[in-house]
Structure 1
Amino acid sequence: MVSERHAAFWNSELAFIRNTEPKVIAYSRRSGNEEYLILVNLSDQAATPQFTNGDMAVAAFSSRTTKEVIYRTGADNDAPAYLHGRLFIHPYETLIVKV
């Protein structure tokens, strides 16, 4: 289970992150050197959220070329999390990305 292996999910700071998709919740969890971006799509439509504030997690996430998706729910776990270089999240999907 992800929450047992990573301290950021049980002993950490939580910060909500604004994004352009009204039905996508985005937040970061951080503990020590571990940091994760968590996105939850509450819509029945796919989304490509863009982040709208200067949060450190967002800056680190946006500047990296490779991002490790460590957990994903949704229609197809083998589908890419990025479409044309932008984050892509399926309907009703949760995505956890290591920052």
Structure 2
Amino acid sequence: TGKIFIYDGRGDNQPLHIFDKLHTSPLTQIRLNAVYKAIVSSDKSGMIEYWTGPPHEYKFPKNVNWEYKTDTDLYEFAKCKAYPTSICFSPDGKKIATIGSD
């Protein structure tokens, strides 16, 4: 499924947060951008999502330079009917590199 469960690794088995509608297809990647404390996740439909963790209430990061995905290339995988098989960030956190299923 596309559900994401967030747990405290030092805590019990109760999720801190559940994303049940962020992705509609099975996940392919989840990566942390440690510089900006943002998480990027992708799914088999080619969708890429940006989100934050507990300090920022699991919302869209405020420290990215765009507001809408249509302002970016984040729809390219979906348009090509492909999906990310690997995601990584540059050391300064400003660039993202992906490898796709196509």
TM over 0.5: no
- TM-score, normalised to structure 2, is 0.32
| Structure with higher RCO (Cα < 8 A, 6+ apart) | 1
Give the structure with the higher percent helix.
1
